Structure 1
Amino acid sequence: MSRPGVGAAPEAVRLPKGFAIQLDPGVRVQPGGRVLIGGMPLRILTLSRTAAGILADGAFVVSDDLSARLADRLLATGVAHPRPAPAEPERITVVVPVKDRPAGVDRLLTQVRATVTPAPELVVVDDGSRDQLAIARIARTHGARLVRHRTSKGPSAARNAGFLSAETRLVAFLDSDCAPLAGWLEPLLAHFADPLVAAAAPRIVPMGGESWLDRYERVAGSLDRGPAEASVFPRSRVPYVPSAALVVRRDAFGAGFDETMRVAEDVDLVWRLVESGWRVRYEPAAQVAHEHRTQPVEWLRTRAYYGTGAAPLALRHGSAVAPLVMDRWSAGAWALALTGDWRAMVAALGVTAVAASKFAVRLREDVPALEDAGSTAYSLVRGGTLASGWQVASLLTRHAWPVTLAAALVSRRARRIALAVAVGEGVAAWIRDRPPLDPVRYVLARRLDDLAYGTGLWVGAARHRTFAPLRPDFTKVTRPPRR
C-alpha cells in the first residue's frame, strides 16, 4: 500500500559535543559494566571495555567521536535517554486543526499565547465548520492566519494544510480540545538538539472532572503515554504518541499525515518517521491538558473509533500491530496454563524451566562477558513469561473478545477461564495503577474500554476485509549481539 513519504534522515551526523546521556533507570548493568539488559523489547548489549569506561557512572557527556557513537547506539535501542541542555528560544509555528469547536479554539490560542515565547506564528485550519464566521472571528482576534476548507477533509488534511503555510524550522500541532500547561514547550524544543529527532510529544493529561470515568481516565487515558520518558518506536513501552499535541521538525515531515486515514494517522506518521531513520521522543516533563470525552455513550464511541484504526495500520505496517507478540516457549506455557487443568499448569512450569535452561546456554555462547548466565536467564524468562500474561489477558478480553464470548457460551471451562481472566486482570491492574477509583468501578470501566475498542477493531477489520490486526506474532528468541 502506497504511503506518503517523509523527509530523509540525515546521514553521517553525530550528536553535538556537550550532549548528555543517562541510562534508563530500569536497565540492569551487570557486574563489570560491560553488559546492559533493559529496554522494551528487551535488549542485551555488550559494550567494549572502552565504552564501559565511558558509561561507568550510568551517564556521560558526548566529547568525541567514540562517545557520540556510543550515545547514538544507546538512544537508538531505547536503553538510555538524552539530557540535552535548555534550548535557545526560537519562534515556532502552531497549527490548530478545528471543526465546530470555536470555544475550544479560543481557549487553546489564549493558552498558547500565554505559554510560548517568543510569540509563535499561529495557523488555524477550519476543516468545514458549520459556523465558519465564528472560527474566523476567533482567529482574527488572536492574530492567527486562517486556512479554510469549505467541506471537511479530515484531521490529516487539515494538519497538512496548516503545515504547508508554516515557514519556521519547527511546527507544533495542537488540537482544539487541548490546553498546554505552563512550561510545556521548552522540554520538547531541547530534544531537537539531536539532529536525528524528527518529533517530540508531551504527556497528555486530563483537563478535569470527577465522574467515575474521569477518574478512570487519569490512569488509563488512551492518549496518556505515562509518567516515564521514552524513545518511541513500534513494540516498545511507548509505541506511538498522539498528534493531539506534537512538535515536528520541518525537514522530517515530508508529505506528512496520510490524508486517506481518518483515524490512527498519528501512529502511521510516527512509524514512518522511525522506519526512515529518524528518532521520536516522548517527554512527560512537558504536559498538555486534554478535554476527554467521559459521557458514557460518547466515551464508548470514541474508544470504538480508535479500534477501527488497527486494520489500516496493520495493512501498512504489518506485525507492528499484532495483538500478541511473544516467543513460542511463552506461548506454549500459557496455552497449557489456560486449560485450567493442574497437570497442564505443572507442564507449563516445566516448559518455562526448559526455556530458561536453553536461554542460559545461548547467553553463555553469545555474551561471554556475562558473569552469571544461569540466574540471568531464569530472571529474564520468568519476567518475560509474566509480561506475556498481560498480553494474553488483553487478547482474550480486548482484541478477541467475540471469540472468548463464543467459547464461553458453549463451554463451562471456557466460561470459568474467561471470568477468571476478566476479573483477575482487572484487579491486578487496579493494584498496579492505584487509581482514584474503587476496584469494582475500575474493573468495570476497564472491561467496557476493552469491549468498545475490540468492537471497533472487528468493525475496522471487516471494513478493510483483513484479519491482519488480529494475527498474533510468535517470534523466535533472537540471539543477543556480541558487541
Structure 2
Amino acid sequence: MSAPVVSVVVPTRDRAVRLGRLLEALRGQTLDPASFEVIVCDDASAGPEPGRVLDAVAAEGVLDLRVLRHDVPAGPAVARNRAWRTARAPLVAFVDDDCVPSPRWLEALLDAWDAAGLADRDLAVLRGPVAPDPAEYPHEFGPFATTLWVQKGTPRFETANIAYPRALLERLGGFDERLVIAGEDTDLGWRAIEAGAAVVWAGDALVHHGVVQQGPWGRLRKGWRWRYVPAVFARHPGLRRELELGVFWGPAHRWLFGGLLALLLRRRTGVAWSFVRWWVGGPYLRRLTHYRTGPLLAPYRLACDLVEVAAIGAGAVRHRVPMI
C-alpha cells in the first residue's frame, strides 16, 4: 500500500453517534480513500458504543482506519499528540468528533496547500471555515446548546478544521498537554506563526459543527474550563492584540462590566447621567433580554457570564496577564 498524502486525526470520547456521522463523511470524501488515512484516538470512552462504531467501519475496509485507545481519560491534547505521531502522511488534518466535513474537505485542503506556493511547504497552517450543521441548526440550537462558527482571520486556530505539515508538528512538539481542556489549539497555532509559518485559508474546505446539547449545568461547567486560556495569552504577546480594549476576552465581558458600572451610577440623577448609564449598560441589558435564552433566563445568562469572567480572572492572576 502506498503512503497516504494526508492523515486525518480525530480525538473522541463517548460520542458514538456523532463519531459515526464523521466517519461516514470521511467515507464520502472526493479524495481517493487510498490517498488518506484516518487515526482515531478514543480517550477512554465510558461505554462500548464508540468501539462498536469503529469496529464496524474498520470491517467495511473502505477507510484506512487505525484506532488508538486510552485506559483513562488524558484530554484532547494528549489524544491528538498520540495520534499524529503515528501518522504516515506529510500533512495532518485535525477534525473533532462532533463535526461533519463536506465532501471536498480533504481535497480542498490539499489544493490550498499546493496553490499557496510557499518556498517552504512545511511552514504552513491550513485553515478552513466551520459552520453549524444544517441538519441540526437552528432548530436544535436551544438555550443550553453550543456550536461553532469559524471565519477567515479568527485567532483561535480551532481544531474543528485545521491542518499542519507533519514536519512542523515535529518541530513544535505538537499540542501542549499541560493545557488540559482549553487553549491547546490556539497555543499551537500561535507557536507555528512565531516559528515563521504562513496561515493558508482553504475557503472550500468546509466543516459542519454539530449542535451539542450541554444542559444547564454543562453550560456553566464549560465556562469554568476557560481558566486555561490566560496561559496562552501570557505566552503570545501578539494574541493580546485580539483582546477587547486591550483587556477583555470578548465583547460579552466588556458589556458585563459596563452593566456593573451602570449599576454603580444608578444614584446619579439627571438626563445626562441617564444617558451615560444607558450608554455603558445598555449593551449588556440587550444581551440578557435578546439572547436566545430569552428574558426569562436572564439570571441564568448572567450566571454563565459571571462564571466565565471568574475563570478568566483566576487564570489571569495565575499567569500574570492583564485580562478579564
User: Which band: TM-score by shorter chain?
Assistant: 0.7 to 0.9
Matched residue type, 1:109: L
2:148 alignment partner, SS class: coil
Match of residue 7 from structure 2: 93
> Against the structure 1 CA distance between its residues 187 and 211, is the aligned structure 2 distance closer, same or farther, given a 3 Å change threshold?
closer
Match of residue 214 from structure 1: 141
Q: Contact 1:123–1:145 (CA<8 Å) still a contact in 2? A: yes
1:115 alignment partner, SS class: coil
Match of residue 332 from structure 1: none
- Distance in structure 2 (CA, Å) of the matches to 1:192 and 1:116: 17
> Against the structure 1 CA distance between its residues 241 and 305, is the aligned structure 2 distance closer, same or farther, given a 3 Å change threshold?
farther
Q: Deviations over 1:239-270 (max 9, x none)?
A: 23210222221111121111111201111111
> Against the structure 1 CA distance between its residues 400 and 467, is the aligned structure 2 distance closer, same or farther, given a 3 Å change threshold?
farther
Q: Deviations over 1:272-329 (max 9, x none)?
A: 0000000122333221111122566267437625643431212222462352357xxx
Is 1:273 the counterpart of 2:273? The answer is: no
Matching residue within 175, 191, 201 for 2:112:
191
| 459-468 or 121-130, which deviates more | 459-468
1:209 alignment partner, SS class: coil
Matching residue within 245, 251, 258 for 2:176:
258
2:11 alignment partner, SS class: strand
Match of residue 359 from structure 1: none
Q: Deviations over 1:105-129 (max 9, x none)?
A: 2221121011152212121111111
- RMSD, aligned CA: 3.7
Is 1:398 the counterpart of 2:253? The answer is: yes
Match of residue 40 from structure 2: 124
> Against the structure 1 CA distance between its residues 197 and 189, is the aligned structure 2 distance closer, same or farther, given a 3 Å change threshold?
farther
> Against the structure 1 CA distance between its residues 184 and 314, is the aligned structure 2 distance closer, same or farther, given a 3 Å change threshold?
same
| 454-463 or 107-116, which deviates more | 454-463
> Against the structure 1 CA distance between its residues 141 and 469, is the aligned structure 2 distance closer, same or farther, given a 3 Å change threshold?
farther
Match of residue 245 from structure 1: 161
- Distance in structure 2 (CA, Å) of the matches to 1:191 and 1:209: 29
Q: Contact 1:173–1:245 (CA<8 Å) still a contact in 2? A: yes
2:89 alignment partner, SS class: coil
Match of residue 175 from structure 1: 96
> Against the structure 1 CA distance between its residues 210 and 258, is the aligned structure 2 distance closer, same or farther, given a 3 Å change threshold?
closer
> Against the structure 1 CA distance between its residues 284 and 223, is the aligned structure 2 distance closer, same or farther, given a 3 Å change threshold?
farther
Is 1:462 the counterpart of 2:300? The answer is: no
Match of residue 54 from structure 2: 139
Q: Contact 2:4–2:89 (CA<8 Å) still a contact in 1? A: no
- Distance in structure 2 (CA, Å) of the matches to 1:153 and 1:297: 25
Matched residue type, 1:260: R
- Distance in structure 1 (CA, Å) of the matches to 2:302 and 2:107: 36
Match of residue 19 from structure 2: 105
2:203 alignment partner, SS class: strand
Match of residue 150 from structure 2: 225
Q: Contact 2:129–2:206 (CA<8 Å) still a contact in 1? A: yes
Larger Rg: 1
1:311 alignment partner, SS class: helix
5 Å matches for 1:62-461? 91-119=5-33, 120-131=36-47, 133-143=48-58, 144-193=65-114, 194=118, 195=121, 197-207=123-133, 208-209=135-136, 214=141, 223-226=148-151, 230=152, 237-254=153-170, 255-261=173-179, 262-293=181-212, 297=216, 300-301=219-220, 304-305=223-224, 307-318=226-237, 320-321=239-240, 323-325=243-245, 397-399=252-254, 401=256, 403-412=257-266, 413=273, 415-422=277-284, 440-441=290-291, 452=304, 455-461=307-313
Q: Contact 1:270–1:280 (CA<8 Å) still a contact in 2? A: no
Match of residue 270 from structure 2: none
1:205 alignment partner, SS class: strand
Count of residue correspondences? 292
> TM-score, structure 2 length as denominator?
0.75
> Against the structure 1 CA distance between its residues 451 and 274, is the aligned structure 2 distance closer, same or farther, given a 3 Å change threshold?
farther
Q: Contact 1:91–1:117 (CA<8 Å) still a contact in 2? A: no
Question: What are the ranges of 5 or more consecutive residues in structure 2 without an aligned counterpart?
Answer: 59-64, 267-272
> TM-score, structure 1 length as denominator?
0.52
Give the deviation of 1:90 after TM superposition.
5.9
Identity %: 24
